[in-house]
Structure formats: C-alpha cells, structure tokens
Structure 1
Amino acid sequence: MTIEAPERIVEFPALKEAQEGLDAKRADLKKIFDEAGDTYDMSKVKSIQGDTTAKVEFIRQLNDEITERKAKVDELMILARAAGAAKEAEEVERGDRDVKDDGRPQTKDGREQSFGQAFMASQAVKGYVRGSGGGPQATVEVSLKTLLNTGGWQPETTRTGRIEEFPTRPAPHIANMIPQTPTGQTAVVYMEETVYNNTAQEVFEGEQYPEAQLKLEEKSVPVRKIAVYLPVTDELFEDLPRAEAYVNNRLPFMIRQRLDLQILRGNGTAPNLLGTENVPGIISQPKGADPTMDALYKAMNRIRTEGFAEPNVVFMSPLKWEPIRLLRTADGVYIWGHPSQVGPATIWGLPVVETTAAPPTKALMGDYGNFAELAVRRGMDVQISNSHADFFINGKLAVRADIRVAVVHYRPTAFAEVTGL
C-alpha cells in the first residue's frame, strides 16, 4: 500500500491554550533554576518565598503541574488525531483513499494471537515433514510494539521450571513510542517540502505581487531486514507447549531488542536502518557549560522554534539520567523528591525513557508521535530446516525468523540530540 504522511491532526483552540499554558509553566520552572545557578543555591531564588524546604516543595508542585498539563496536552492531541482520522474515514467512504485490512490473526474470542500461538498454527509448523530436509515458509503477523510475557519451561518433577534468563537490555522501550503502520512496498516514498520562501506582503493597488518559492523533493527510506536463527532439538520441537513458550520468548525478543537499537542508532548504511542519531538535519544542541537540564530544555525549545513540532519523549542512558534524579540543593535537599519517594521520570514535562540503547554521551528527543513512523513490510517470517551443517544426523532443527521494516523520520528538525553529556 502507499505510505502517506503521518496521521492528520485537526487543531482547535483548547489544544493551543493548553500548549501555551504548559510552555508558561515550563518557563516559570526554568526561571527558578536560572536564579539558583549551577550550585542550586535556593537562597538566591527571590521569586519564591520561604526557606529551602518550602522552595523545593514549590518546585515539586510546579513540576507536578507541568506533568499534569503535559498529560492534558497529550489528551487533546489524541482528540486532534481522532478528528483527523474521522476526516480520513470520510475520504475512504468517498473512495478518495484506499485502506486495506492488515489481516493480523486473532483468537476465537477476538484477541490478537501471541507470536507463539500464531507460530504453532502456521504452515511452517503444520507443513513440516520430519526428515524432509527443508520446511515450508510462513509469515506470522505480530505487532512489533508488544513485549510478550516471558513464559519458560513447564514444571518438571526434578526442577522448579524456572529459567533465569541472561541479563540483557529489555525490549521494546523505543518501538512503543513510534506509530506502527503496514506497507506493501520495498521502500517508504514520500515528498518533502525543502524550500519554503514566503514573500507575502502588503502591496498598493496595481503593484506587482511578490513571488514566493516552493520546492518539493522525493524522499525514499528503504525497508531493511533484521534476522536471527535458533537451533533446537527434535525433542523440543515435538513438545508443542514447550516449543511455543520458547519461540514465544527468545526469538521475537532478540529481534525487537535489535530493532530498538536500530531505531535510535542505526547508521543507515545497508543493511542498517537509519536511526534518529544519524538522520541528516536533526537539531544538535551541545551541553557545553550548561547544566544538563538547561541543555535539554534548549533542545526542546529549538524543536519548537525551528522544527515547529512538540517533542513527546526523551531517550537517555540510565547513567546520564542518574545525576539529574539525584540533584540536591546547596544544603542537601533532593530536588526531585526524597529517596524514599518515587520520583517522576519526566523532565520539563516530557517522559524520560531510560535505555542503554541510547548513545552513552547523548540524549535523543523528538516528536516521534507525529513525525516518525515504523513501517512494517511484514511480520515475523519463520522457516524450519534440518539441512544446516550436521543437524540432520544429530537430530536438530534450525528455526530462523526475520522481519522487514523501515524507520522514517519525516521532519528532521522535529528531532534533536544533546551532545557532550
């Protein structure tokens, strides 16, 4: 199917008012930190009355209000997108837009099947003939944004049934933040307005009109493949519940884990995806001598003023978020709450996703909800064979899986990196 620009948004006064209120509160908080200086000395803050404890409590309340206002803006954005979707639905009814069902498999009660259920019901499993050397191919449609529950082995008489999995980065943190759409193409092709010269101005009667300039360029983001294979024994494969749990856990997890990394840091050189960090034209904000919080705020404002977008998430390494969470005033009061309290994982009202997939010396942020897209050419493609190496004579099977996706950043200036962390 043809991939169009991201979902349409219908703007209305309530959304604009909520956004302006959020920006005002953010400015109030920034003013307080500017007064406190690099040492966070609350005695220098004259815009708030009271001692240090009172001032820190005021900051907490202000931060909570920013978080609430951001949630309200997000709610109104959902309404704006819904209004846009309604307009698109009208276009579909008039025949102006072609929409196809993605055909994702469901259970009898209408719920979407897990990968393991879809895999065990696929032709790849049902059509496999032991000893044939190769197996049939099957495409299993599964959402890349859903982290399936870990199962493990069924209990046995001699052990608890628990498998302590190898400690590794969880997934998917990043894919959850990006709209996912199906595509039937080998690339996502769209038009980008690269020149916008607005010369509109007032003219006298009979005077020549000023000439404006617009230029469109075709952009193409290729679909790439992420793949992995897993060797299993004949006995494991014949035991359907155990095979389902095993495949349901590890193969999709490995692919999603790699996808998370590629979304943020892929270098775009085939066969890699093009991740946010390496998208040409994104805003780069150096930390320099600024506190990290100030540098993040400056990057957010540059997205608003240069990209005319509203960032909706910040991706940071846990080690870089740690000093922010542990910030204290000059006399030792924790700014983001006492250690016994659950601190907000937000900064200037934006949710912070702590992930080791983020660059170790950078923070990445952007309006992923409106100007990014995860286009899925197909879900997990599964094939089974015993023809690999000596698998036939050793009673082993090779189960391989892959996906084909494209990550699109429609407006580079809707994204930013904060460097030098």
Structure 2
Amino acid sequence: MPHIALAALAANRPSAIVGALRNESDPVQRALHQIGDEVSRIGGDVRNRIEAAQRRIEELETRNRDIEQLLAEGGRGGRFGGGSSESPGEIFVRSEAFKNFGGSAGRGNISAVVQAITSASTSAGGMIAPDRRSEIADLPKRRLTIRGLIAPGTTNSNSVNYVRQTTRTNNATVVSEGAQKPESVLAWTEADAPVRTIAHWVPVSRQAMDDAPMLQSTIDGELRYGLGVKEEEELLLGSGTGQHIYGIIPQATAYQTSRDKTGDTAFDTLAHAIAQSEVALLPATGIVMNNDDLEALKIIKDGNDRYIGGGPFGPPIATIWGRPVVGTPAMAAGEFLVGAFLDGAQIFDRLDAEVLVSSEDRDNFIKNMLTVRAEERLAMAVKRPAAFVHGSFPYTL
C-alpha cells in the first residue's frame, strides 16, 4: 500500500517536493523514479495512438467530403441511384470496427466492409443518364410517284361529269361539182368520275398526346402517308365498283404482243409499247414499273457481257427511251404501264388530306381518349383510255 500511495503522489507531485525527496541511493526513491518514468512512457504512447486515430478520422472525413462533392456534381441529388443513401465514409464511421477502434484508445487495425460503387441499378446505375435521341426510327416508307405523273385539278362537287369522244370516222375527200359530199361519223358519250373518300383513324389517350409533344406530328405524318399509299393503289388499280376509284390499268389498252420479236429484251418490249402509243396519236410521257423489275434492268448485258445501262458506276435509271420511269410496289412484278399521263387522265381533288383530333367519339370523353382521323376526297377521270398501254414482259427479269 505505501508503494502505491507513493506512486500516485509521484505522478502528481510538485517539482519542489520531488526535488526535496529524491535520493537516488534510497530504494524507495528509485522505485518512485521508475514508476514515474513508466507512467510518462505509457501516457506518451496513449497520446501518440490517440493523435494517430484523430489523423485517420480526419483523413476519412476529408475523403467522405470529396466523395459527396463528386456525387453532387455528377449525380442526381448526390446519392447512389437506387441504393443506400449513406456514403462510403458514413458507412465506415458508423461501422462497429471504427467504434471499437476508438473505444480501445486507438489500438489494433480497422476494417469495415464498404459496398463497391458499380453501374448496377442498386448502386450508381440510377445516376447514369441515357443518351436520349429525339428523332423517331420509323418503319421505311415508299416513294409515292403516280400522282406526280397525272394532270392535277379540283372540284367543288361530289362527281365530275365530262364528255368523251368515242368515234371519229373521217370520210372527207375531194368531190366533183354537183356530186354529193361524203358524210363523216362523230360520236361522244357522257362519262362520270364520282368523288371517293379515303380515310382511316387511330385512338390516342389525351395524356399521351399532352405529354409527348412529338406524338401529334408523328401521327399526322403516318396517317397522311397511309392515305397516299392507298391513293396510289386506287389510281393505278381501282376497280370502279362500290366506293373504289376507277383506276388507269383497268381502263388501259392492252399491249400488242404482235410487236414482239425473238431475242427482245425488256428495253425492246418497252420500245414496242411506246410505239403503240405513238400510233394511237397519244405519245407516251412516262413509264411505271415494279421496283424489282426496275432494279433488274440495271444489270441487263449485251452479247459481249457489257451492261446496257450505266453499269455499277453509272447513274440510276431515270429515263428509258427518253421517257421518265418510276417504280412502285403498287405495280405487279413483271408488268408495265406506258402512257401519256398528262393527256390521258386527270385528278380532281375535293378535299385535300386533312388530319383532325376529337374527343367526340363513342365513350372517348369518359375514358379521356382522343380519335385522330385522316381523310381525303378525290376523283380521277381517265379521259383517253387509249393513252395508256398495259402489258407484261415476255420473260422474268
């Protein structure tokens, strides 16, 4: 007990007392001196460990602030998207290993499991913004070519009536004095081209229309394109029955195969059809073919294996025998149409293509739906059927 009391006194001793009591030859004094040295050593070691722990804590806090700043600059709200809201520094400070480290006066090693930052949805994935492109990758659309060949016109009625000449027998000749003059024969007939309606529609929710600014213009373009596709089919192939337009091909003159010769190419067949229109006094101004057939013409070769057209380095085929040529899927493969389009037919537009949006359709109002409708009205008159020659190639291109 005296040794303990003396050790405590030595640890807190005033310098004057220590100087008065110290006697190196006294065993008690030597013990007190050794105890004081050991207490000083332990106190210095504890202070060093505490200071080292404080420096480590300051380093971790600095790293934590740096990480939070990076997340605030590059992320959304400075948090890991979809994962924990704690930063790696916060996780470390809250770990049991760190608490134990402080509680043991800085002795031992610190280890804590911190989740790695990845692009997963439960980590930093939510912070990675997609590269959003505004344009829409639409399905392919074909070129609409037939309307551009035909003479344009308009009407304010639901039907276009016109007179078509059917007979011209010219018996004019020279006559002698007093002789009876010959009679010629002329005849006409009344024809009618009724206005037909082409239309379609799609349902759209009001929310989609309001929230997607590009949606209305996209639907507008799609519906107008659909009208154009059907119009082209009707102009060429319409049967004239029911509500169909009476198209060009059902009224065209058949190709005269008597002109064909052995060894004819597709170019020769088209030349014969043009000659047929010339004989009818209605010179052809255009040629319509299927797209596949038009492409096949590019690779036709002569007897010396040379391309008849421009070959792989020449321009695309835009004219044949001086007449513009167009391709369309509406024309059946293996067939062609040669014609005097401006003189032979005319389109009469009653209502240009329009697109309307309305909630007044069935139960649209209570369902918050909209109906988007596209519609056009037109008539076509084939005034001179002989102006068009329709036929088939004598072999597969």
Aligned position for 2:237: 265
Aligned position for 1:227: 199
Structure 1 residue 388, shift from structure 2 partner = 4.4
CA distance in structure 2 between the aligned counterparts of 1:381 and 1:415, rounded to whole angstroms: 31
CA distance in structure 2 between the aligned counterparts of 1:167 and 1:402, rounded to whole angstroms: 22
Q: Deviations over 1:332-365 (max 9, x none)?
A: 2112123022243221111110111112231012
CA distance in structure 1 between the aligned counterparts of 2:158 and 2:364, rounded to whole angstroms: 34
Aligned position for 1:326: 299
Structure 1 residues 329, 380: closer, same or farther in 2, change over 3 A? closer
Q: Under a length normalisation based on structure 1, what TM-score does the superposition of the two structures give?
A: 0.58
Matching of residues 230-241 of structure 1 within 5 Å: 230-238=202-210, 241=213
* Residue type at the aligned position of 1:178: I
CA distance in structure 2 between the aligned counterparts of 1:408 and 1:288, rounded to whole angstroms: 35
Aligned position for 1:345: 318
Pairing 1:196–2:168 present: yes
The question of whether the paired residues in 1 share the 8 Å contact of 2:220 and 2:355 is answered with no
- Tell me the percent identity: 28
Which is higher, the Rg of structure 1 or of structure 2?
A: 2
* Residue type at the aligned position of 1:200: A
The question of whether the paired residues in 1 share the 8 Å contact of 2:143 and 2:328 is answered with no
Matching of residues 143-182 of structure 1 within 5 Å: 159-168=132-141, 170-182=142-154
- The number of residues matched between the two structures is 263
The question of whether the paired residues in 2 share the 8 Å contact of 1:262 and 1:273 is answered with yes
Structure 1 residue 179, shift from structure 2 partner = 2.1
Structure 1 residue 383, shift from structure 2 partner = 4.0
CA distance in structure 2 between the aligned counterparts of 1:160 and 1:166, rounded to whole angstroms: 17
Query: 185, 192, 198: which is aligned to 1:213?
Result: 185
Q: Deviations over 1:236-257 (max 9, x none)?
A: 4336952552244111111011
Structure 1 residues 230, 346: closer, same or farther in 2, change over 3 A? same
Structure 1 residue 372, shift from structure 2 partner = 1.3
The question of whether the paired residues in 1 share the 8 Å contact of 2:347 and 2:378 is answered with yes
The question of whether the paired residues in 1 share the 8 Å contact of 2:150 and 2:347 is answered with yes
Report which structure shows greater RCO (CA 8 Å, sep ≥6). Answer: 1
CA distance in structure 1 between the aligned counterparts of 2:338 and 2:278, rounded to whole angstroms: 12
Pairing 1:360–2:367 present: no
Structure 1 residue 263, shift from structure 2 partner = 1.0
Structure 2 residue runs without a partner (length 5+): 1-128
CA distance in structure 2 between the aligned counterparts of 1:256 and 1:376, rounded to whole angstroms: 13
Aligned position for 1:122: none
Pairing 1:378–2:351 present: yes
The question of whether the paired residues in 2 share the 8 Å contact of 1:196 and 1:215 is answered with yes
The question of whether the paired residues in 2 share the 8 Å contact of 1:283 and 1:303 is answered with no
Q: Deviations over 1:138-192 (max 9, x none)?
A: xxxxxxxxxxxxxxxxxx9752112221234x24211111222110121111111
Structure 1 residue 420, shift from structure 2 partner = 4.3
* Residue type at the aligned position of 1:214: L
Structure 1 residue 389, shift from structure 2 partner = 5.6
CA distance in structure 2 between the aligned counterparts of 1:221 and 1:242, rounded to whole angstroms: 39
CA distance in structure 2 between the aligned counterparts of 1:382 and 1:163, rounded to whole angstroms: 20
Query: 270, 273, 296: which is aligned to 1:296?
Result: 270
Structure 1 residue 380, shift from structure 2 partner = 2.8
CA distance in structure 2 between the aligned counterparts of 1:236 and 1:312, rounded to whole angstroms: 47
* Residue type at the aligned position of 1:256: G
Pairing 1:282–2:223 present: no
CA distance in structure 1 between the aligned counterparts of 2:201 and 2:248, rounded to whole angstroms: 27
* Residue type at the aligned position of 1:282: T
